[in-house]
Amino acid sequence: MGRKTRKVAIVGTGLVGSSCAYAMINQAVCEELMLINRSPENALAQALDLSHCMDFTHSRTKIYAGHYEQCGDMDVIILAVGGNPKNPGSRLDVLDSSLEMVKSIIPPIMESGFNGIFVVATNPVDIVTYAVWRLSGLPRQHVIGTGTSIDSSRLKTIISDIFPVEPRSVQGFVMGEHGESQFVAWSHVTIGGKPIQQVIEQNQSRFGHLDLDDIADRTRLAGWEIYKRKGSTHYGIGNALAFITRSVLNDDHRIMAVSAILEGEYGQHSVCVGVPAIISANGVQEVVELNLNAEEQEKFAHSCSLMRSFLESSHLVAPLDTPEIHPAQLGHAGNGSAATAEFGA
């Protein structure tokens, strides 16, 4: 009996989209991969280049350039479009141009009959993920942002260099905005199952000098350290996109930090931020609600409040004392023009 062909489309074939495609064919994430770009020639060139990898991979992925009207039977659509920030330091700089892009992309995708899962990398990813949900009309579980998945990976890498252990032996999450208001939920960071504070307390001579706030700052600024040296980050976020997509297609039920739309979880409503969640064939199967301490709860509430203020100013969500705005009523979000470059993470 034949197995269903797993089909994925990537919208945006710049550094992030092409890095994601490269990761996916090397990891055999899907059997069919369609690339879409505002420049069809670029999408075609990327598809041809990537197809020449097949002799050196473990399995064959059919890869080709396509169009929005071909998205109807896709299982997952990855959004990897985006613009570079005006000034390194805030991904919110590209909010207007990113919203303009998704407002032109989502309607034709939905008109194709698409009813799968969106995975979003476009920055500012928390706000854009919420916009994709509102524009698509899909259930909130079916729209996933990469969120703090890459930040959590950066945290684990930094910790693994300090202690030292293999990064996957570190468990923990960066939560909130994928940006300046993010925070590390230190009360839930463990090394080999042992709380990190306990490891430090019991090994004062080796680790007593560590400043957890400094580690959190290094984590938050890691993307900018890369950006200011080469102008983009794309390998890490490209792999994160492939990882999330594989978890959806394989129904893995893997827990990772992603941008999820909250409607009651952590006491938050009408907002999208990075939280640990179970990722399955249904998308965000369940948001994992950690028992945050008082300081972490305050930081989480602050990050959610900040993201909600941008959603309100962009007319993506109504203020709490007014009715919700229907997707059809979304107005012009700003004066930014669509950008052609990509800054993924």
* pLDDT one-digit tens code per residue, 95-127: 888 999 999 999 999 999 999 999 999 999 999
**Residue 249 pLDDT > 60:** yes
Whether 178 is catalytic: yes
Nearest Cα neighbor of 332 from 116, 176, 87, 100 is: 100
How high is the pLDDT of residue 297? 98
Report the candidate in 13, 138, 14, 26 with the shortest Cα–Cα distance to residue 76: 138
CATH architecture under which domain 7-147 falls: 3-Layer(aba) Sandwich (3.40)
Average pLDDT, integer, range 288-315: 95
At position 187, the amino acid (one-letter code) is S
Confidence of residue 323 (pLDDT cuts 50, 70, 90): very low
Residue 320 has pLDDT above 70, yes or no: no
Band (322; pLDDT cuts 50, 70, 90): very low
**Is the CB of residue 126 less than 8 Å from the CB of residue 259?**
yes
What tens digit of pLDDT does each residue of 128-180 get? Answer: 999 999 999 999 999 999 999 999 999 999 999 999 899 999 999 999 999 99
Predicted local confidence at residue 211, as pLDDT? 95
Please pick, among 52, 67, 178, 188, the residue that the annotation labels catalytic. Answer: 178
Predicted confidence band at 7 (pLDDT cuts at 50, 70, 90)? very high
- Spatial contact of 119 and 78, defined as CB atoms under 8 Å apart: yes
Mean pLDDT for all residues in the chain: 90
